[in-house]
Amino acid sequence: MMNFETALRLYINEPTKEKLHEVSELLLKEMTIKEKIRILQGHAMGVTVKNFLTKGRFYNGEAYPAGGCKRLGIPPIMFTDGPRGIVMKKCTCFPVSMLRGAAFDDELEYRIGEVLAKEASALDANLFAGVCINLLRNPKWGRAQETYGEDPYLLGRMGAALTKAMQDNGIIACPKHYALNSIEDLRFSANAIADERTLHEVYLPHFKKCIDAGAMSIMGAYNKVNGTYACENTMLLTDILRNQWGFDGFALSDFFYGIYDAVKSLKSGMDVEMPYLFRYSVLSYKLKKGDICVQDIDIAVSRVLRALISTLPKHRKQPESVILSDEHTSLSRESAAKGMVLLKNDNAVLPIPSDKKIAVVGRYADKRNTGDHGSSNVFSPYAVTPYNGLCNRFGKNNINLYNGCKCDEATKVAENCDYIVVCVGSDWLQEGEFLVNLGNVKKKPKGSGGDRADLNIPPEDVKLIRAMSALGKKLVVNIMGGSAYVIKEWIDCADAVLMSFYSGLEGGNALADILSGDVTPAGKLPFTIAYNSDDYPPFLHLGAKCKDIEYGYYHGYTLFDKSGKTPHFPFGFGLSYTEFEYNDISLSNDINNKIEVSLNVKNTGNFDGDDIIQLYIGSNNTDTDRPVKLLKGFKRVRINKGETVRVSVTADVDDIRFYNSETGSWELDKSYTVYIGKDSRNIIEAGKISF
């Protein structure tokens, strides 16, 4: 009799796509209809109740099971969430994805993925649903922190790295939320409308990158896309995902309310309902009634079997001792420092000399603030605050603390100091997953997460910044949060401004690494910072009468480029303590379907540091509406002071094609202009290429 162990052995001996399909079909034939239907259902109720009653945790305290068949030895899917760490028990909390996007380093993201895979394995999970790659349209989106930024290419590179790390280590990677999911408060009712070209060029390429990188599962979204719920959307789940992209794995629903109609969802290509048996409880009845057929069930089950058979042979069970190891926490600290973005540094006020006295003030000066408290929350046993980190680096006697926003109290602490570090921004109460919203909330409770009400930091924080500026000390503003803020009203008060995002359990130490100069900042904005909130695309808030919203072709830096508006800080911007000079630029496009720009990069300053070289490409087609330019390559390099390094940055020719909605094909324009840049506005023309 064929069982799972035999199927694995046959596949391992001949690991081809053809053999994978063959053995999964043989295994499928051994299953009863009851066993098949069970494969398509989540079984997390017992785990959730157990965790809630015994450990005070409602969500994902242990891996959530789905499917499985004991008789044939088929293991269940064992789900764990992310993306800033494994949410089960007490694991290593990494910086949020937005900070990691700011690092522009997919090799680093792969290393983070390896750690996450090990910690997932140690806690018996075999599926990681933390590859969050929804595109940031508007920074008001409460869950922006969970993704990598506003650019599809950046999202694709980073998401693919995390996907590959998971799959290489025997954990099924699950990109989410497919698709057009970037509104939180109305996530159950928003209808994102996008034309065919916009859908393919802007909102889906990063998902395809993850599929191409080997993802064997994908999570649907709550929202509607062009009038149809994402988890019952045949266009998304079958026409594009399977027929166009060749996806060979399975789709699972977003939790609890992802599926509305079991028949529509199953027939559209939604395979597994998570985390409990709910809508799919009617599958047996619908089969008897004739609304679905056995083939509908078989197609879905075979996809799950293929994911398990192809991925699990790479899995190596890890001991729980790997969790929170020095290696893992050190990587969290490294990644935090690599992604922090220096926005301003007048008169080289940073780095702070070791002999200076520093006041650390503000609501987040000595408060754990690692991000959202929803499904991405990681329960690490500690988190280094800014105050802790600066004490560790400069000595406790040199650090004064006031953890609050009262200007008079902060003044008392700061008046005898040389530097003031003001910690402002947001926390889980102002932005994040809106857990209060179960589909029928009409008014948003105050301090309940969800989408941001506006893009300014709170007025009491602004008042504190102004009060500290009046003291005449060197003033550093440290912004903690998930994405862009409008900061024009107070930025002139500060000598230096740093975005540290939500920087993980070692965030305070990483902040001290940057402020002290032990690490030279090199992070680049993965989004555009506008002068005004209205410069971003429209957004839907709770209470909106119409739930339809157009997801347009332009957003982020492409919108600023096209409209001629000047951003406050452009996409890809970030200062350093040193300077980099570009020269001797050459361009080639005749090698292995690649466009390659080579250049000399010289560190002309006084600090060793990293530079991130960005490659942008714009079409010269004037007959069709095209973006001015698009990011199509980047490379992070380490260059010591005084050193010159020859660097090559490449782009795939296939990545510069445009979608022709009339023919349904991807086509090259005749001519393109290639740019090398320090950010999306500070660019140098490298030359033109023709096809």
Residue 441 pLDDT more than 60? no
Averaged confidence pLDDT in the chain: 95
Are 325 and 366 spatial neighbours (Cβ–Cβ below 8 Å)? no
The burial of 360, by beta-carbon neighbours within 10 Å (0-12 exposed, 13-18 middle, 19 or more buried), is given as: buried
- pLDDT tens-digit series, residues 476-533: 999 999 999 999 999 999 999 999 999 999 999 999 999 999 999 999 999 999 999 9
Least confident of 91-95, 289-293, 443-447, 466-470: 443-447
Picking from 166, 32, 194, 156, the residue whose alpha carbon sits closest to that of residue 551 is 194
Beta strands at 609-619 and 127-132: parallel, antiparallel or unpaired = unpaired
Q: Please give the share of the chain, as a percent, with pLDDT higher than 90.
A: 93
- State residue 146's pLDDT score: 98
Residue 64 pLDDT more than 60? yes
Mean pLDDT, residues 324-349:
98
The CA-atom distances, in angstroms, between 59 and each of 190, 251, 457, 500 are 25, 21, 30, 27
Question: At what angle are helices 326-339 and 106-122 packed, to 10 degrees?
Answer: 150
- State residue 439's pLDDT score: 47
- State residue 437's pLDDT score: 56
Q: Which residues contact 141 (CB under 8 A, 6 or more apart)?
A: 182, 183, 184, 451, 452, 483, 539
Residue 58 pLDDT more than 80? no
Picking from 503, 468, 508, 506, the residue whose alpha carbon sits closest to that of residue 482 is 503
- State residue 363's pLDDT score: 96
CB-side neighbour CA atoms (13 Å) of 658: 22
Q: Which residues contact 58 (CB under 8 A, 6 or more apart)?
A: 48, 51, 52
- State residue 661's pLDDT score: 94
* Phi, then psi, of 159 in degrees rounded to 5: -65, -40
pLDDT band at residue 61, thresholds of 50, 70 and 90?
A: confident
Domains of the chain: 35-321 (3.20.20.300), 334-563 (3.40.50.1700), 580-690 (2.60.40.10)
Residues 500 and 211: their CA atoms lie apart, in Å, by 31
Question: At what angle are helices 17-29 and 4-13 packed, to 10 degrees?
Answer: 160
Are 251 and 266 spatial neighbours (Cβ–Cβ below 8 Å)? no
Mean pLDDT, residues 640-644:
98
- State residue 503's pLDDT score: 98
- pLDDT tens-digit series, residues 528-576: 999 999 999 999 998 888 999 999 999 999 999 999 999 999 999 999 9
- State residue 448's pLDDT score: 72
Mean pLDDT, residues 198-214:
98
Mean pLDDT, residues 62-75:
96
Picking from 305, 277, 364, the residue whose alpha carbon sits closest to that of residue 23 is 305
Q: Please give the share of the chain, as a percent, with pLDDT higher than 70.
A: 97
- State residue 256's pLDDT score: 85
- pLDDT tens-digit series, residues 108-139: 999 999 999 999 999 999 999 999 999 999 99
Residues 254 and 274: their CA atoms lie apart, in Å, by 7
Q: Which residues contact 336 (CB under 8 A, 6 or more apart)?
A: 94, 95, 99, 500, 503, 504, 506, 507, 510, 511
Instruction: Please identify every residue annotated as catalytic.
Output: 254
Picking from 124, 433, 441, 129, the residue whose alpha carbon sits closest to that of residue 275 is 129
- pLDDT tens-digit series, residues 650-664: 999 999 999 999 999
Torsion-angle region of residue 639: left (phi > 0), alpha (psi -120 to 50) or beta? beta
Least confident of 71-80, 119-128, 365-374, 439-448: 439-448
Are 2 and 26 spatial neighbours (Cβ–Cβ below 8 Å)? yes
